[in-house]
Amino acid sequence: MNPNVLDIQNLSLSFGENEILKNISFAVPKGKIIGVVGESGSGKSITSLAVMGLLPKSAQISDKSKILFQSDSETIDLLKLNSEEKRKFRGNEIGMIFQEPMTSLNPSIRCGEQVEEAIRLHLKLDKNLAKKRVIELFNTVLLPNPERMYSAYPHELSGGQRQRVMIAMAISCNPKILIADEPTTALDVTVQRTILELIKKLQVEIGLSCIFISHDLGVISEVCDEVVVMYKGEIVEKGSVLEIFENPKQNYTKGLIACRPRLDVRYHELPTISDFLKDENHLSEIYSEKERKAFHEKIYNQTPILEVKNLSKYFYAKPSLFGKEEISVKAVDDVSFKVFPGETLGLVGESGSGKTTLSRTVLLLEKPTAGEIFYRGKDIVKLSKAEVRKLRKEIQIIFQDPYSSLNPRMNIGEILITPMVVHGIGTTKKERLGKAAELLVKVGLNSNDLKKYPHEFSGGQRQRIGIARALAVNPKFIICDESVSALDVSVQAQVLNLLNDLKEEFGLTYIFISHDLAVVKYMSDQLLVMQHGEQKELGDADEIYANPKTNYTKELIEAIPKL
């Protein structure tokens, strides 16, 4: 009997003139996890969609291509099945966890019912037995209070819980193979760790075979047995996890491994894939302890640009008819810190720790419940609306999602000049467009891009446009809220280098929020650790990583995937 559950042979695929996949061949042995890595556009997800039979009708597959699936009694070429036969396979024999659980779950149907639907369709169980199976699955994927989760809607669950519902759905019919497409990309390190442990547990307990797609090599090295490296629709290298990470042969693979920030050393600039494609022996210049110390002596001898004192932000439940308002969530509870000009303060913690609420309160997008916020020595909580509007020019934010934070109906020129118009920067449209063109070049794009629309750019390019928009009003203080979490490691390295270059050039100060602790350590001078709205630790970033004082910080650091 064939030891491989799935065997992809010479898969070539095109859309019109564009060749997307070129002779992709790899096998998935029974009970093994195969990692597929590469940048956006390398062909990882389209390969998984071909296996699932979810390709659009316009996809043209070459005659030599085969996707052989080993069922109990025979070998089946999935590419030769009609749409009804594919539907029987999908979910039943092959499960898939999609990248974004919020958009993959139906917001108007309870979580339990969504999982139950697949069970009733494929396993032909009645309502009671199907519900019992869902509760068992929710226990298997370690969801708290499975009965309550069954009745909950997706918006009532955290990102990690929604991802577990997706895993329960994917394994509900005991598939022979599971495809996990970037299943941990937007998750905290601690939630990511539990999801990875869960997939490994299922591999051992039910002999699950898995294709695990990710751009994060740390994650791949922790969970996979073998690795397939893809670049521009081709496989450039494949082998065991040990072979690929200990002795990568291709420059592209070397670049992918090197561009993730290291915890043991800090570089002046993160290496990028293009550095390794130009020079396979590329060495990045180390930012020494002596240089870092000299920089800190310089910045910490200044007056703080921002000082937050005993800041709290509570959200209240609606009062009953005669009752008093009750605190339902202490989102930020008695937090104090200082940020100095030219510094980057890193802000870390799990989802729900209060990071984003803290940043929104500092920006006065949320009214603080208590405490003071001094910007350049002035308590901005007491400012009038007109004065707050003027302040907006000084303090800007770069948002997490480069897709939803740009208006799809405006071209890039309009997106960049709108804040200039609001804040009276420049006198004519021509002058403002000239400044917008300069900003695009500064962030590594082309001045000709002004007439294009957001959908014409990749995620990394859109994030650069978001950075250019923040710089359009000449700010002094920028909050980066998870601004690289949706990017590939290679694009992430470019954007982090860009942020550091701009900080130096324009004399900027940052609060840098991220759930990726390796990235926060690379970027930060000081570090503020939050949990449940409370301040857990505050101090030098390197010192906290080397000697965490609280168990919570230790857990966060231990959960970082290590190559």
Q: Where are the domains of the chain?
A: 1-93+216-248, 406-474
How does the average pLDDT of the chain come out, rounded? 90
How far is it, in rounded angstroms, from Cα 489 to Cα 254? 13
The answer to whether the pTM exceeds 0.75 is yes
Query: Which of 41, 7, 43 lies closest to 25, judged by CA?
Result: 7
Instruction: Decide if pLDDT at 266 tops 70.
Output: yes
89 vs 509 pLDDT, higher one: 509
| Tokens 């071209």 belong to residue | 411
Instruction: Decide if pLDDT at 101 tops 80.
Output: no
User: pLDDT above 90 covers what percent of the chain?
Assistant: 60
Instruction: Decide if pLDDT at 521 tops 60.
Output: yes
Task: Tell me how far CA of residue 451 lies from CA of 84, 409, 538, in angstroms.
Answer: 44, 12, 45
Mean pLDDT for 113-138 is: 91
**Tens digits of residue pLDDT in 464-485:** 899 999 999 999 999 998 888 7
How far is it, in rounded angstroms, from Cα 515 to Cα 506? 26
Least confident of 34-38, 210-214, 441-445, 546-550: 441-445
Q: Tokens at residue 91, please? A: 């979910």
Mean pLDDT for 277-295 is: 90
Assigned CATH for 1-93+216-248: 3.40.50.300
Q: pLDDT tier at 319 (50, 70, 90 boundaries)?
A: low
- Contact in structure between 211 and 230 (CB atoms under 8 Å): no
Alpha-carbon torsion, ordered 85, 87, 92, 96, to 10 deg: 130
Instruction: Decide if pLDDT at 338 tops 90.
Output: yes
**Tens digits of residue pLDDT in 37-49:** 988 788 998 999 9
Predicted pLDDT of residue 102: 67
- Contact in structure between 339 and 305 (CB atoms under 8 Å): yes
Instruction: Decide if pLDDT at 320 tops 60.
Output: no
Q: Tokens at residue 5, please? A: 């559950």
Q: Tokens at residue 498, please? A: 């860009």
- Ramachandran angles phi, psi of 280, nearest 5°: -65, -20
Q: pLDDT tier at 164 (50, 70, 90 boundaries)?
A: confident
Instruction: Decide if pLDDT at 318 tops 70.
Output: no
Least confident of 53-67, 210-224, 316-330: 316-330
